[in-house]
Each structure stands twice: as C-alpha cells, then as structure tokens.
A and B are shown apart, each in its own frame.
Chain A
C-alpha cells in the first residue's frame, strides 16, 4: 500500500505570508503527484499536477516542487481565500491515494 504523509496537519499564517506544505510518499513515485484545495462545504479543486504544473486558472502564488518521495506545495503571499484544506494525491499506481490533508487558517 502506498502511504502518503502530509505535514503539518494544520497551520495558521498571516495574510502575505509564505506557506509551505510537505507530502512524503512511502515509495518513489517520480513526479506523479497532484495537489488539491478544498474550501469548507465545497468540492476539491485541482491546483497542481505532475508535481509542479499549475492547472489552468490557478493563481501563480501557488507552486509545487519535488520528485521521488518528497514534495512541497508553496503559497507565496497568502490571501484570505487560501483558507482551505490542501491534499496531495499520487497517480503513480492505479489505486490512487491521498495524503491526510493540511488545514491552512488565516490569523
């Protein structure tokens, strides 16, 4: 089974801050890693695929990096609308799995 571990599980930051979330996988997945954002009461939204490719329409303050087993999602200049839970998800094996989520709150 592929294990995916996100950290931290939650964080609180101020408007304008730089925020970084990490995702570690139990196996080498190359760069087959996606990131999603979920705001309360809404369906998830794709932010980044292939570890670093920004989905169309996603603000450029979001960026992703990593390969192998270690990945990061960074939000530069945090905005109020970025208050959400963020999930990583691997697409390396056919049984997809998600990290447990990171809740980002605005101070």
Chain B
C-alpha cells in the first residue's frame, strides 16, 4: 500500500527549533516529488515547497523561502520539514503529499498530489 506516515504532534516554545518527518512506503521514494503544505487553524491550504528525493532538488514558495528547510534522506525514504526558530504564527497542521505526474500526450505533463500524510499538528506557544 502506498502511504506517507507523518511524525506525531509537537508542542514547542517560540524560538525553539523543530524537525518533522514524512516516511514513504509502498513506492519508489526517489522517483516522486514530495510537497509540504501548511494549514493554519480554520484556514485554507498553503503550498510551502517541494523536494525531489533522488537529487534533493528543492523549490520553495516565496512566502516560505528562508523560513523553513525541506530535506530528504533516501536511505530512510523520509522527507523532512525543519524550523530553526519557531514563531507562534507557525502553529498549524503540516501535511506532506506525493506529487505524481501523467503524460497523456507527448510534452504534456500533469502534476497532482495523489497521496497525502495525515498531517502533523505543530503548536508554538509560550
């Protein structure tokens, strides 16, 4: 079964660091992009960035560039999202999702997020 299993809920104080994880199983981890998304309380989905585990090519949303670090370890089939110094405004649910691609006609690549983790709740409070 194709699955993304995310690490458990975290509670931290402002200024602390944090690294959460997303472990893939059931498919070749190195051949699919993994995206990270944020959902603040009561709000919509925000795309943070994406990584290709085979070569660790990373793309960030301008809104999150410099605020977080996305990484992956293909030895462990795991992607990570990391903060150096958390703020209260980082309180949210964070999802990882696999991005798949289909090519129904030559040179037409359609990307979509077809497998999602259950989410990791991060609470930052003093």
Identify the A interface with B (CB < 8 A).
Answer: 1, 32, 34, 36, 38, 42-46, 49-50, 53, 55, 85, 87, 89, 91, 94-101
24 pairs, A vs B, C-beta closer than 8 Å? A1-B62, A34-B113, A38-B45, A42-B118, A43-B116, A43-B118, A43-B119, A44-B95, A44-B113, A46-B112, A46-B113, A49-B102, A50-B110, A55-B112, A55-B114, A85-B44, A87-B45, A89-B45, A91-B111, A95-B61, A95-B62, A97-B47, A98-B47, A99-B44
B19 at the interface (CB under 8 A from A): no
Q: How far is the CA of A36 from the CA of B47 in the complex (A)?
A: 13
Measured as residues with beta carbon below 8 angstroms from the partner, the interface class of chain B is 20 to 34
Main secondary structure of the interface of B (DSSP, over half): strand
Q: How far is the CA of A48 from the CA of B111 in the complex (A)?
A: 11
- For residues 13 through 59 of chain B, which have their beta carbon under 8 Å from a beta carbon of chain A? 35, 44-47, 50, 59
> How far is the CB of B105 from the nearest CB of chain A, in Å?
11
Contact between A43 and B59, CB atoms less than 8 A apart: no
Q: Mark B95-126, 1 if CB is under 8 A from A, else 0.
A: 10100001010000011111011110000000
* 6 more CB-based (< 8 A) A-B contacts, given A89-B47, A95-B61: A32-B110, A43-B118, A44-B97, A55-B114, A89-B113, A99-B44
Identify the B interface with A (CB < 8 A).
Answer: 35, 44-47, 50, 59, 61-62, 95, 97, 102, 104, 110-114, 116-119
